[in-house]
Amino acid sequence: MDVLSGLAHGFAVAFEPANLMWCLVGCFLGTVVGILPGLGPAATIAMLLPMTYGMSPTAGIIMLTGIYYGAKYGGSTTSILLNMPGESSSVVTCIDGYQMARKGRAGAALGIAAIASFIAGSFGIVALSLMAPPIAEFALSFSSPEYFALMALGLALVVLLAGDSLVKGLIALLLGLWLTSIGTDLFTSQSRFTFGQSSLLSGLDFMVVAIGVFALSEVLNSIADKEETQLLPVPKGMRNLLPSWEELKACRFAFVNGSVVGFIIGILPGAGASIASFISYGIERAFSRHPEKFGTGVPEGVAAPEGANNADTGGALIPLLTLGIPGGGTTAILLSALVLWGVKPGPLMMQESPDVFWGLVASLYIGNVMLLILNLPMVPLFAQILRIPVYILHPLILGVSVIGAYSVAGRIFDVVMLAGFGALGYAMSRLKFPVAPLVLGFVLGDAMERALRQSLMMSQGELGILFSRPISAVMLACAVAVLFLPLLPRFRALKVAAG
């Protein structure tokens, strides 16, 4: 079956009333799960799995996948409104999204997040339906050296995130690298920096760190500065609650960037949506005409990462459906669902279960439109949250943070760590250290160390493996370019002065 007839068949399946309804249910549940911390998409899908046994596999997978990508739409809401990431892939959105909200553009930020999600999500789906098998082959050519180069590129972008002081940015980055290596070393089972605590054996959780240094420290800061009455201004009138034409125009490049970067990183089983969102944010800033404004609330800073984490969906489904390889926890549970229904994801799935495969792909197109329609009208509604007086809102943020941290592993230990990271984030902001590099170092550091050690094991200690492979070499060259790009204007100024 070729792509077009496959898609036509898929739409016929997906437009059956029952499937259409399950798609809507999945998207709606996903949005709710994304907005509220404490319930991740993986846990929700696992919880609902038994209920789908009675459904047809097509309806079941359409609904469960709807939860998966719906959650990515919803994740940005609390990032923007409360500086509190709803999902790990929405952590970067805090940086500019929350600043936009502080400037009274909360509605615009939410709108841009929804639009970027829709555009990039659709791009990912089109790419998935047109070229899934060849793309899957391409993803397999990625090995540890390429992963290392990718992470190095991501870390090089940190220089651009550093803000006023490069030294402080780098110190924050190194703190992130240290925090991420706490726990058991994968290669040797050596426990590192665990202080004899069995609770630290599995390392710190990204959500605990991110909620601590973003949401909790923001509450402490705002209480210290006595930002009384209302947290943020909410302008009146419908027009001010939606993105303006200028803001959308500023995001043109971000939509493309988020789509492409998110999709490409999405197909790699060793990366994932949070890494995709960070790298696309970094690229957005590197190519921006006003990089110094990033972090103060620019719409591109919301559009790029939110787009990337939705384009990631289409990418991540490719290895799952064409090879039976899950890239993360949520796709792993989708895989086990498919297996339980007797559908076998793998190279033969397209031919043997065309109803499920093409029905699912077509439902993604429909679901994306549904999510846009579901999300846009909710924007003005959500923006009203900011009207709640601070003496109520701040305790609410603290309570929601606790739920987010506790639900990671169901233990008080993580809530105590959350308090620790809240204090760290507060101290860092008072001492004028940027926190974004710390979070970035935390996300990329672990994967980077792993990839470096895997590469050197593969090459028996030869560093050349990192530079002799074309994709890896190109990315490392980009990383070097990114590092020296900011120096270029100074260099030119020097030359002019000398000449």
Whose Cβ is closer to other proteins: residue 153's or residue 428's? 428
- Exposure pattern of 401-431 as b/e (b: 16+ CB <10 Å)? bbebbbebeeeebbbebbeebbebbbebbee
Q: Which residues are 192's β-sheet partners?
A: 183
Whose Cβ is closer to other proteins: residue 5's or residue 141's? 141
Q: Which residues are 191's β-sheet partners?
A: 184
Supply the minimum distance, in Å, between the C-beta of residue 294 and other proteins.
Answer: 16
Whose Cβ is closer to other proteins: residue 123's or residue 294's? 294
Whose Cβ is closer to other proteins: residue 17's or residue 54's? 54
Supply the minimum distance, in Å, between the C-beta of residue 333 and other proteins.
Answer: 4
Return the H-helix or E-strand segment holding 220: helix 217-224
CA–CA separation, 206 and 290 (whole Å)? 30
Whose Cβ is closer to other proteins: residue 59's or residue 408's? 408
Q: CB-based burial of residue 268 (10 Å sphere; 0-12 exposed, 13-18 middle, 19+ buried)?
A: buried
Supply the minimum distance, in Å, between the C-beta of residue 196 and other proteins.
Answer: 6
Whose Cβ is closer to other proteins: residue 221's or residue 244's? 221
Whose Cβ is closer to other proteins: residue 411's or residue 492's? 411
Nearest one of 67, 52, 58 to 349, comparing CA atoms: 58
Supply the minimum distance, in Å, between the C-beta of residue 212 and other proteins.
Answer: 11
SS3 460: coil
Whose Cβ is closer to other proteins: residue 291's or residue 347's? 347
- The conformation of residue 40, written as its DSSP 8-state character, comes to -
Supply the minimum distance, in Å, between the C-beta of residue 470 and other proteins.
Answer: 15
Supply the minimum distance, in Å, between the C-beta of residue 499 and other proteins.
Answer: 29
Q: Residue 69 in contact with residue 364, Cβ under 8 Å? A: yes
Supply the minimum distance, in Å, between the C-beta of residue 13 and other proteins.
Answer: 22
Supply the minimum distance, in Å, between the C-beta of residue 239 and other proteins.
Answer: 30
Q: Which residues touch 355 (CB under 8 Å, ≥6 apart)?
A: 9, 13, 58
SS3 361: helix
- The conformation of residue 389, written as its DSSP 8-state character, comes to B
CA–CA separation, 78 and 382 (whole Å)? 9
Return the H-helix or E-strand segment holding 192: strand 191-192
CA–CA separation, 310 and 306 (whole Å)? 7
Written as six digits, the tokens of 463 are 């560093």
